[in-house]
Structure 1
Amino acid sequence: MKSESGTASLGRFDFACGDEIESLEVAYEAYGEFNGDNAVLLCHALTGSQNVAGYTDEETDGQARAWWNDIVGPGKAIDTTEYYVVCANVPGSCYGTTGPASTDPEGEVYATDFPPVTVQDWTRAQRQVLDTLGVGRLHAVAGGSVGGMNALDWARQYPDDAECIIAVAAAPRLDAQSLALDAIARRAITTDPNWNDGDYYDAETTPTDGLAIARQIGHVMYLSKSSMQQKFARRAAGRDARRDSFPVDPAAAFFPYRDVESYLDYQAEKFVDRFDPNSYLYLTRAMDDYDLAEGYEDDARAIAAFEGETLLISFTGDWHFTTEQSEALAEAFRSVSTPVAHHVIESDHGHDAFLVEPDKVGPPLRDFLADGINGRAVHDTADSNADNDSGFAPVHASLFSQ
């Protein structure tokens, strides 16, 4: 697979908050060859990176590397022998794009002096990166989770720049429960004594405990109740499981160290080695702040100028971005006569299904990229309806029956 990685120097960048920085550097990776009309932009999730594909080693730091390796590549759903695939790390992150951990022109770390970042800023930065690569109109913009919100923002900000939009496990905005959990996660970081108001980059200790707890909260959000029961139930961890990741109360030795605790501690340990606590604060706030309808009366008016086709993919076990939210968004597209398909996938994996079930996600992606909403797999939902002639994938009946 032909691929390239690089950094686009965008120069002065004006953020939606009104602040600016003199130079924004954006790390990106590109796969395949550009032929003028085959470009696909992929938008990564919250803690993902520009590295979409190319690594198969399991020890690749989770979403940091090759986060859609089973979806993107030669002969895969997003075929890099056919499409020119680009992914850019978003402003505020810590994988090569300018963010809180970067240094300013005077050589000082930005820390919390870095401007507040929005999803709209991500979209504008991506547009500028594509300009530097000589890419004009895109065949598609696709993303999962907050990357799906990012993809939806392209329909609002640049409605003429993409033939189609794909939002996987996404929504036009977060609900109150998700906002609350994100707020608790941020509080875990900012109340860590080592956070030091965000100025910890030259310190011997960093707020890893706070970041670890924030990540654990995130993992609980990304898993479904049934998947957690199947994976862990109430089982005690094995005798070799370590329990020293966090301080424990004196009574802890009397009680079992459970599988679910061991899993969360393990995930937290891996995460703090690869992610910046301030970046976590910045990116979760960008996600929480996003509202597709901001500046418009509703979602339908926000995307009314987009004349391409849209694919929404949701998962029945995802309570973070629900199937109901995707269907409401699909109705917004339909109300302005924008061709849209809502593909519902039966899954117990929760929000993480878009990453861990490529065999279910790949076919509708492949067929939509090739044939739009008329793609065969796009309409192969959990509840097919032979009488459905609306032009949209049917929605799982049990979820929306009257």
Structure 2
Amino acid sequence: MPELLRIANQATALTLSGGASLAPVDVAYETHGTFDGSNAVFICHPLTCDAHVAARGPHDDPGWWDVMVGPGRPIDTRRHFVICANVLGGCSGTTGAATRAADDAPWGARFPDVEISDMVAVHRRLLAALGIDRLHAVVGPSMGGCQALQWLLDHPADADRFVIIAGTARPSADNRAWNAVARHAILSDEGYRGGAYAPGPGPLAGLATARMIGHLTYLSETELERRFGPSAAGPHRGPSALASYLDHQGGKFVRRFDANAYLTLLGAVDRFDAFSRRSAVTTTPCPPRVLLVSLSGDRRFGRAHSEHIAAELAARGVEAAHHHETGSDLGHDAALLDQPELAARVADFLDLDTIQSLPRTGHAT
């Protein structure tokens, strides 16, 4: 179970990017390993994940990134002190639409708009409360990569290196179109009730459909064909098998996620435009090291997104290594799956001895 820490109260309210003041703010987080003063790695989670990045032992529930985080894993908890926190606006412990406002009623649709930069601000307050003033690394896949990028731009001195896996600096029109259809599915469900639904029932059908829409974009066309096309084996073949698979994904999702929280996070991603304003990274005398990872078959944030980030960072004096994962064509979801090529690249980048042998002003390719 995650721990809960209050990082803002009425006297220390969090001022959001949009100007709203938010208090109280609680953060759900988990840690792994032992902090030695210089080995902290902050993991920023994807859209619908949470603070439980990895199992803490053989009897713990699996985490969403067990393949990457843990003893002997690429982000090795025997060497690194790993922190992962549920984002602001989420629904897994951190303050969001599903938590209670000052009037003791759920925030619901009243919860203010949250930006990626607000999520980073909460992460930084959490670290301050934990007594951590510098990180070995910030790592994030998907929406977590957006958080890592925002962190890099606004607070480059916070970490020695940043890893952005299948992230984006600005969602494409295609990305936002898929999100618009998912949003419509929720808002048009009669159970939504303007966002004032009671905890439990709510717009379950709409939320399930929204998840199905999103899930389709997480798998490559090749992977869908492999699983459900004419050459698929056994019961997985044909249209009914694909429909059943998507129904299953939607059903699982509504048991663990809140519709208003989903809308909050979709909005934050849609509005994200990392390079649209001035950033502190242009003035830092010693830029951090950056690794960008893109994934073959990624229909969300493919190679062009990483190349755009690299070009924009270069224009600001920050060189970035770009690794294009070719060992898999699963698509966006491959970021969270067992991918040996990706795992080895991340482990190498986070390794102190390897990094210290590189010039401070650039990266290995």
The TM-score, its normalising length taken from structure 2, stands at 0.90
For residue 265 of structure 2, the aligned residue among 280, 283, 294 is 283
**CA 1:237 to 1:259, structure 2 compared with 1: closer, same or farther past 3 Å?**
farther
Q: Deviations 1:162-221 (Å, cap 9, x if unpaired)? A: 11110001111100000000011001000000000000025x731000000100000111
d(CA) in 1 for partners of 2:218 and 2:176? Answer: 14
Farther-moved stretch of structure 1 (189-198 vs 316-325): 316-325
d(CA) in 1 for partners of 2:363 and 2:131? Answer: 34
Matching of residue 207 in structure 1 with residue 187 in structure 2: no
Farther-moved stretch of structure 1 (141-150 vs 362-371): 362-371
d(CA) in 2 for partners of 1:310 and 1:268? Answer: 35
**CA 1:273 to 1:55, structure 2 compared with 1: closer, same or farther past 3 Å?**
farther
Which stretches in structure 1 are left out of the alignment for 5+ residues?
242-255, 379-389, 394-402
For residue 308 of structure 1, the aligned residue among 285, 288, 300 is 288
Tell me, yes or no, if the aligned pair for 1:32 and 1:84 is still in contact at 8 Å. Answer: yes
Q: Deviations 1:212-258 (Å, cap 9, x if unpaired)? A: 0100000111010100000111589988x9xxxxxxxxxxxxxx752
**Who is 1:86 aligned against?**
83
Q: Deviations 1:325-347 (Å, cap 9, x if unpaired)? A: 21222223333442320001112
> Where do residues 177-326 of structure 1 align in structure 2 (5 Å cutoff)?
177-201=174-198, 205-234=201-230, 258-296=240-278, 303-305=281-283, 307-326=287-306
Tell me, yes or no, if the aligned pair for 2:228 and 2:239 is still in contact at 8 Å. Answer: no
Q: Deviations 1:255-290 (Å, cap 9, x if unpaired)? A: x75211111011111001000010000001001111
**CA 1:282 to 1:372, structure 2 compared with 1: closer, same or farther past 3 Å?**
farther
**Who is 1:44 aligned against?**
45
**CA 1:292 to 1:364, structure 2 compared with 1: closer, same or farther past 3 Å?**
same
Q: Deviations 1:285-318 (Å, cap 9, x if unpaired)? A: 001111111224xxxx674245110000111211
d(CA) in 1 for partners of 2:281 and 2:98? Answer: 34
Q: Deviations 1:340-390 (Å, cap 9, x if unpaired)? A: 2000111210100101133222111111011588599x9xxxxxxxxxxx8
Tell me, yes or no, if the aligned pair for 1:45 and 1:147 is still in contact at 8 Å. Answer: yes
Larger Rg: 1
Matching of residue 110 in structure 1 with residue 90 in structure 2: no
**Who is 1:167 aligned against?**
164
Helix, strand or coil at the partner of 1:131:
helix
Tell me, yes or no, if the aligned pair for 1:38 and 1:83 is still in contact at 8 Å. Answer: yes
> What CA RMSD, in Å, does the superposition of the two structures yield over aligned residues?
2.6
Letter paired with 2:101 = D
d(CA) in 2 for partners of 1:265 and 1:327? Answer: 35
The TM-score, its normalising length taken from structure 1, stands at 0.82
Shift of 1:13: 1.6
d(CA) in 2 for partners of 1:337 and 1:15? Answer: 29
Matching of residue 70 in structure 1 with residue 77 in structure 2: no
For residue 315 of structure 2, the aligned residue among 318, 335, 355 is 335
d(CA) in 1 for partners of 2:180 and 2:281? Answer: 29
Which stretches in structure 2 are left out of the alignment for 5+ residues?
none
**CA 1:337 to 1:392, structure 2 compared with 1: closer, same or farther past 3 Å?**
farther
d(CA) in 1 for partners of 2:14 and 2:45? Answer: 21
Matching of residue 128 in structure 1 with residue 125 in structure 2: yes
Aligned residues: 354
Farther-moved stretch of structure 1 (43-52 vs 333-342): 333-342
**CA 1:280 to 1:191, structure 2 compared with 1: closer, same or farther past 3 Å?**
same
Letter paired with 1:282 = T
**Who is 1:387 aligned against?**
none
Q: Deviations 1:85-129 (Å, cap 9, x if unpaired)? A: 001111111000011111112211111111111101000000000
Matching of residue 137 in structure 1 with residue 140 in structure 2: no
